[in-house]
Chain A
Amino acid sequence: MIVTEKKDLNRIQALLKDRNNIIIVGCSECAAACQTGGSAQVKEMAEHLTGKNILATISIEAPCDKRIATRDMRRIQEELENAEALVALTCGSGVQALSEVTGKPVIAALDTSFLGMVERLGKFYERCSHCGDCMLNDTAELCPVTLCPKGIRNGPCEGIEGTLCEVFPDKECVWHRIYETLKERGQGDLYLRYHDATDWGKSHLPREVIWEKK
């Protein structure tokens, strides 16, 4: 899930200074789970934007998916034609998809933080850095690229304090956890499997996946 956090409302209001006719768009997937862009937050935003003419509010299932955004925005076609700007309570991909789909200026009301694992509402943890070179099959499903502050692919580093992380002394070093878990599973040989430096030649931004036609 894409974890988002709310931007300061004063910044949103400043960005809308010369725009009166507004549509507010929420995301009923990730941003809703983060309670940053669900229908309650869309309503809250509408209440905060006093003095603005809110033409419509809409929650889209996945505004980052241009197909869904196109389909759902058709439902408010008339309001869209009159809108001077959209306020998007979505991740950065959602903002850009809405801009491309509508051709309207879109104000990003959220900051996009990370790809998160949800423990329960209000507890989101980064577990994947989308490095493009996944080593989870060798590391007991614990990603050191993300869980080690240094992102070390062959650890631990010399800073380990007993079994604790040098950077976050209240946390276990992920390489200690990897070692212990692999040993328990009888897969200790995986621990010293060498992982080469990441080949960034394959990961230039912006990344794309395009299926080839068969």
Chain B
Amino acid sequence: MQTLYYIPALNTTEHIASMLSDIGPEKEILFGEYGAMLPLAAPAAGAMNGGKRFIEIILSNKNRDLAAASLVSAAQLGFDGVVIASGVFGKNEGMGKPVYDLDPSQALMLATTLRKQKTLPETFTIGIRTPTGSGAAHERARFFIENGADFLAVPEGASIPEFEDKTVIIKEYKR
């Protein structure tokens, strides 16, 4: 199984550069959306040199138009692929209305369609955060593979035995 080093939150370009230096140049890295900066800004911090670079597209608080724009922008900015996720559901006082216009399966269909249409390059890799640990989760993993996902992303300690060759471990980078 491959490993993607996950940086969940990007806050400043200096912060990104220093984390990349810690992780090492040849590692495959997944940039998350939980910081002050969008991961689309990672190239501005010189993040694209070295191993493959992936961007996490969380679907919470994006409608389908923004999800599509994020996918296309990621490819145009040189990312090698994407990891689709529904995203962590926040419960904060005074929060805005949560938006889940697309679920991961629907976003997968969107991404594979964009790739078929050549709006995304054929080499653009589509991964998806995949539930594990129950029959329902396992069947959903099967759906993802049967519908064009290139890999199933799971956290450290989780596995999907039937699709081991398609599974990528997300190793969260902690400082």
* Residues in A lying within 8 Å of B, measured CB to CB: 149-163, 166-167, 173, 175-176, 178-180, 183, 191-192, 194, 196-198
Q: Which of A150, A156, A160, A198 contacts B98 (CB 8 A)?
A: A150
Indicate whether B48 reaches chain A with its CB closer than 8 angstroms.
Answer: no
Indicate whether B135 reaches chain A with its CB closer than 8 angstroms.
Answer: yes
A60 to B134: give the CA distance in the assembly, Å. Answer: 50
Q: Is the CB of A158 within 8 A of B103?
A: no
CB neighbours (8 Å) of A155 from chain B are 103, 136, 140
Number of interface residues of B (CB under 8 A): 29
- A interface majority secondary structure: loop
CB neighbours (8 Å) of B89 from chain A are 149-150, 159, 166-167
Q: Which of A153, A160, A166 contacts B103 (CB 8 A)?
A: A153
* Residues in B lying within 8 Å of A, measured CB to CB: 60, 64, 85-86, 88-89, 91, 98, 100-106, 109, 129-131, 133-137, 139-140, 142-143, 147
Q: Which of B86, B109, B133, B142 contacts A157 (CB 8 A)?
A: B86
CB neighbours (8 Å) of A191 from chain B are 136, 139
Q: Which of A149, A156, A159, A197 contacts B136 (CB 8 A)?
A: A156
Given A160-B136, A197-B103, 10 more A-B residue pairs with CB atoms under 8 Å apart are: A150-B89, A150-B100, A150-B103, A153-B106, A155-B136, A160-B137, A176-B136, A191-B136, A191-B139, A196-B109
Q: Is the CB of A156 within 8 A of B140?
A: yes
Q: Is the CB of B86 within 8 A of A158?
A: yes
CB neighbours (8 Å) of B142 from chain A are 192
Q: Is the CB of B101 within 8 A of A197?
A: yes
The verdict on A154 contacting B136 (CB below 8 Å), with A159-B88, A160-B131 known, is: no
CB neighbours (8 Å) of B102 from chain A are 197
Query: How many inter-chain contacts with C-beta < 8 Å in the A-B complex?
Result: 91
Q: Is the CB of A157 within 8 A of B135?
A: no
A158's closest neighbor in chain B, by CB?
Answer: B129
A173 to B135: give the CA distance in the assembly, Å. Answer: 12
CB distance from A190 to the nearest CB of B (A): 11
CB neighbours (8 Å) of A167 from chain B are 89, 91
CB neighbours (8 Å) of B143 from chain A are 154, 192, 194
Q: Is the CB of B140 within 8 A of A151?
A: no
Q: Is the CB of A158 within 8 A of B105?
A: no
* 17 chain-A/chain-B pairs, Cβ below 8 angstroms: A150-B100, A152-B104, A154-B105, A154-B143, A155-B136, A157-B104, A159-B89, A159-B131, A160-B137, A173-B134, A176-B134, A191-B139, A192-B139, A194-B143, A194-B147, A196-B106, A198-B101
Q: Is the CB of B100 within 8 A of A158?
A: no
> Most B CB atoms within 10 A — which of A160, A161, A162?
A160
CB neighbours (8 Å) of A163 from chain B are 133-134, 136
- 3 tightest A-B CB contacts, nearest first: A179-B136, A154-B105, A158-B129
B130's closest neighbor in chain A, by CB?
Answer: A158
B89's closest neighbor in chain A, by CB?
Answer: A167
> Most B CB atoms within 10 A — which of A157, A166, A178?
A157
A166 to B132: give the CA distance in the assembly, Å. Answer: 13
CB neighbours (8 Å) of A154 from chain B are 103-106, 140, 143
